[in-house]
């Protein structure tokens, strides 16, 4: 028996006795890359960011477990999507670059680690696909995109504006990423789309900030009353003045009946509506990267939401180029 038998977690390769429970699989069973120098030739790189920082009213928590649950859910799928006649696993060389190292309770060091890991992926011109974590993780991801001299069109799917100046004194809380990318990272507000905004968990100052700054906002009512195509066409038109699109999805943009492991804000998008929009965006613009955040596995029902996250990724990649 090896000397590390009392370690709480042992990787499969070190185990010398039969297992009842398996270790965490890689996303879609893809190749695991442990060091930056092995990233070459990958064109899509999956990364987990198991970070949960400031928690808001209601104490929804557990999103740090999402990378593990989404990886496990992904093993159910191949890459072939018959309706599209595309095999995502043949189309791309996908790898799993593991999780960002989380420094518990230390946002600054954790964000630096996120920045570095995303920078590694962008350096080899691959597409990072990131599972959070809470929505604050988008801040260091966008920072890495800017440092790479890319000018992204940011497409933010969410029930919430997420643009508060701070929350409980924390400027880097999950309610603040849009404010940080505009005020701190100098993203042009007219290069941001916020889609699916709704409901009484938004502050009046958030609407005022978005309106004042000229951010493109499509509430759930705008989408349903004006049609989804109006929004899609405006996104595609605006993406032409940028280097590509960065898509950030808070799972509460979806109706809780489709994504039970979200914050649970009603009258949201259906999974069909969200995936249809993502397919249109992906086929008509260049995808720089994508994150999916605020998925709370402890609230899930039959892992529906983790499975949906895999579908979101597969259908978007099927249409991206
Ligand atoms: Mn939200």
How many Å lie between the centroid of ligand 1 and the Cα of residue 275? 17
Question: 255 C-alpha to center of ligand 1: Å?
Answer: 11
**From ligand 1's centre to the CA of 250, what distance in Å?**
5
* Distance between Cα 162 and ligand 1 center (Å): 7
* Mean pLDDT on 82-108: 95
Distances in whole angstroms, Cα of residue 215 to Cα of each of 161, 212, 263:
10, 8, 24
Distance of CA 108 to the CA centre of its chain: 20
pLDDT tens-place string over residues 295-312: 999 999 999 999 999 999
- Listed residue (138, 134, 131) closest to 177, CA to CA: 138
How much distance in Å is there from the Cα of 290 to the middle of ligand 1?
A: 16
197-238 tens-digit pLDDT: 999 999 999 999 999 999 999 999 999 999 999 999 999 999
pLDDT level of residue 118 (50, 70, 90 thresholds): very high
**What is the distance in A from the centroid of ligand 1 to the CA of 36?**
32
Which class does domain 25-50+75-319 fall in? Answer: alpha beta
| Ligand 1: centre distance to CA 74 (Å) | 24
**53-71 confidence digits (pLDDT tens):** 988 877 678 999 999 999 9
Distance 14 CA to ligand 1 centre (A): 40
| Sheet architecture: strand order including 152-157 | 31-32, 94-99, 44-49, 127-132, 287-293, 244-250, 152-157, 192-197, 216-219
Hey, where are the domains in the chain? 25-50+75-319
Task: Name the pTM for this structure.
Answer: 0.93
Look at residue 8 in the predicted model and tell me its pLDDT: 47
Ligand 1 centroid from CA 263, angstroms: 7
Q: What is the percent of the chain with per-residue pLDDT over 70, rounded to a whole number?
A: 93
């Amino acid at each position: 028996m090896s000397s590390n038998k009392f370690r709480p977690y042992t990787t499969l390769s070190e185990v010398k006795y039969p297992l009842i429970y398996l270790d965490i699989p890689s996303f879609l069973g893809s190749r695991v890359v442990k060091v930056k120098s092995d990233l070459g030739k990958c064109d899509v790189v999956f990364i987990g960011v198991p970070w949960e920082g400031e928690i808001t009213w209601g104490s929804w928590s557990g999103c740090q477990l999402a990378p593990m649950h989404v990886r496990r859910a992904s093993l159910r799928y191949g890459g072939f999507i018959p309706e599209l006649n595309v095999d995502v696993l043949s189309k791309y060389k996908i790898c799993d670059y593991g999780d960002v190292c989380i420094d518990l309770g230390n946002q600054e060091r954790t964000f630096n680690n996120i920045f570095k890991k995303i920078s590694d992926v962008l350096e080899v011109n691959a597409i990072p696909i990131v599972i959070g974590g809470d929505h604050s993780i988008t801040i260091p991801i966008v920072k890495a995109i800017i440092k790479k001299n890319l000018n992204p069109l940011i497409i933010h799917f969410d029930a919430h504006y997420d643009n508060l100046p701070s929350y409980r004194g924390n400027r880097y809380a999950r309610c603040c990423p849009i404010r940080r990318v505009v005020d701190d990272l100098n993203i042009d507000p007219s290069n941001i789309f916020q889609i699916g905004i709704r409901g009484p968990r938004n502050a009046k100052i958030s609407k005022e900030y978005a309106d004042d700054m000229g951010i493109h906002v499509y509430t759930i009512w705008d989408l349903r009353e004006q049609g989804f195509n109006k929004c899609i066409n405006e996104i595609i038109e605006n993406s032409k003045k940028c280097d590509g699109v960065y898509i950030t999805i808070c799972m509460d943009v979806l109706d809780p009946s489709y994504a039970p492991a979200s914050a649970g804000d009603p009258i949201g998008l259906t999974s069909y509506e969200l995936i249809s929009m993502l397919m249109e965006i992906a086929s008509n613009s260049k995808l720089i990267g994508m994150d999916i955040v605020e998925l709370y596995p402890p609230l899930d029902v039959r892992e529906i939401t983790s499975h949906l996250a895999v579908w979101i990724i597969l259908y978007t990649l099927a249409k991206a180029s």
